[in-house]
Chains A and B, each alone.
Chain A
Amino acid sequence: MELRAGKNKIDKDVFEELCSAIGRECIFDSIEERERYSFDAANLKSMPDLVIMPRSTEQVSGILSIANKHNIPNCTRGVVLPGGAVPIRGGIVLDLKNMNRIEELNARDLTITVEPGVVMKDLQDEVVRSRLFYPPESGSEILSTIGERVAECTGGMTGMKYGVTRDYVLALEIVLPDGSVINAGRKTLKSVAGYDLTRFFVGSEGTLGVFTKITLKLLPMPEKTGTVMSCFKDIEGALDATDTILSKNHLNPRALEFADKTCIDAVREADNGKIPEEAEALLLIDVDGNEKNVTNDISRIDAICRENSALNILITHADEERNRLWDIRNSIFPSPSKIASVKYDEDVTVQRSKVRDVLKRIYELSNTYSLEMSVSGKIGEGHIHLNVTGNSADADDVSVHSLVSQILNSVESNGGTNISGLAPHESEIMKDLKRMFDPKGIMNPGKIII
Chain B
Amino acid sequence: MKFFQKTKKEVNKHQKALSELIRVVGEERILSAIEDRICYSYDATRQKVLPDIVVRPADTNDVSNTLKIASKYKVPIYARGAGSGLTGGAVPLMGGIVFDLKNMNRIIEISPDDFTATVEPGVVTKELQDEVAKFDLFYPPDPSSAAFSTIGGNVAECAGGITGLKYGVTRDYILSLEIVLPDGSVINTGGKALRSTTGYDLTRLFTGSEGTLGVFTKITVKLIPKPEKILTVAAYFSERDDAVDAADLIIDNNILPRTLEFLDQMTINAVRGYTGADIGEDVKALLLIDIDGTEGSISHEVPIIENACRESNAFRTKVAETAEERDAIWATRRSISPALYNIAPHKINEDICVPRSKIKEMLQRVDRIKTDQPIYIANFGHIGDGNIHVNTMYSDDPGQEELAESIVNKVMKEVVKLGGSISGEHGIGNKKSQFMELEIPSHEYEIMKKFKSYFDPKGIMNPGKMFIR
**With A192-B158, A429-B187 given, is the CB distance from A187 to B355 under 8 Å?**
yes
Contact status A289-B293, CB under 8 Å: yes
A296–B195 touching, CB < 8 Å = no
Q: Whole-angstrom distance from the CB of B283 to the nearest CB of chain A?
A: 25
B102 within 8 A of partner (CB)? no
Which B positions have Cβ atoms within 8 angstroms of A?
A: 111-116, 136-137, 157-158, 160, 164-165, 168-169, 171-172, 185, 187-189, 191-202, 204-205, 207-209, 213, 224-226, 248, 251-256, 293-294, 296-297, 299-301, 353-357, 382, 385-387, 419-428, 432, 436, 439-441, 443-445, 447-448, 450-452, 454, 466
Q: How far is the CA of A183 from the CA of B443 in the complex (A)?
A: 9
The 7 A-B pairs at the shortest CB distance, nearest first, are namely A250-B225, A353-B113, A292-B296, A191-B421, A199-B204, A190-B424, A189-B385
Q: Are B425 and A426 in contact (CB under 8 A)?
A: no
| Beta-carbon contact of B421 and A188 below 8 Å | yes
User: Chain B contacts of A189 at CB under 8 A?
Assistant: 164-165, 353, 356, 385-387
B248 and A422 contact, CB distance less than 8 A: no
CB contact under 8 A between A418 and B440, given known A353-B111, A449-B199: no
Task: Contacts A195-B451, A247-B112 given; indicate if A422 touches B199 (C-beta within 8 A).
Answer: yes
Contact A426 B204 (CB under 8 A): no
Q: A77 — which chain B residues lie within 8 A by C-beta?
A: none
Name B294's contact: one of A247, A296, A423 (CB within 8 Å).
Answer: A296
A376-400: CB near B (< 8 Å → 1, else 0) gives 0000011100000000000000000
Of B200, B425, B440, B452, chain A has the most CB atoms within 10 Å of the CB of B200
Q: Is B251 within 8 A of A110, CB to CB? A: yes
For the residues of A in contact with B, the DSSP-based class is loop
- Nearest-CB distance from A239 to chain B (Å)? 12
Provide the A409-450 mask, 1 if CB < 8 A to any CB of B, else 0: 000000111100111011101101110100000000000011
CA A255 to CA B180, docked complex, whole Å:
37
Q: Can you list 19 A-B contacts (CB < 8 A)?
A: A153-B197, A155-B195, A183-B444, A186-B353, A189-B164, A190-B160, A190-B382, A193-B423, A195-B205, A195-B208, A196-B207, A199-B171, A200-B200, A204-B201, A293-B296, A352-B115, A382-B194, A422-B199, A430-B199
The answer to whether B225 and A196 touch across the interface, beta carbons within 8 angstroms, is no
- Complex: A401 Cα to B323 Cα, angstroms: 59
A residues near B111, Cβ cutoff 8 Å: 351, 353
User: Complex formed: what's the CA distance from A153 to B256 in Å?
Assistant: 25
Q: Give the distance in Å from the alpha carbon of A353 to the alpha carbon of B253 in the complex.
A: 37
Which residue of chain A lies nearest to B87 when distances are taken between CB atoms in the complex?
A192
B444's partner among A184, A289, A350 (CB-CB below 8 A) is: A184
Q: Which residues of B contact A183 (CB under 8 A)?
A: 441, 444
Looking at the complex, which of A24-32, A139-147, A158-166, A267-275 is the stretch in contact with chain B?
A158-166
Alpha-carbon gap, A26 to B158, bound state (A): 43
> By the criterion CB–CB under 8 Å, are B466 and A289 in contact?
no
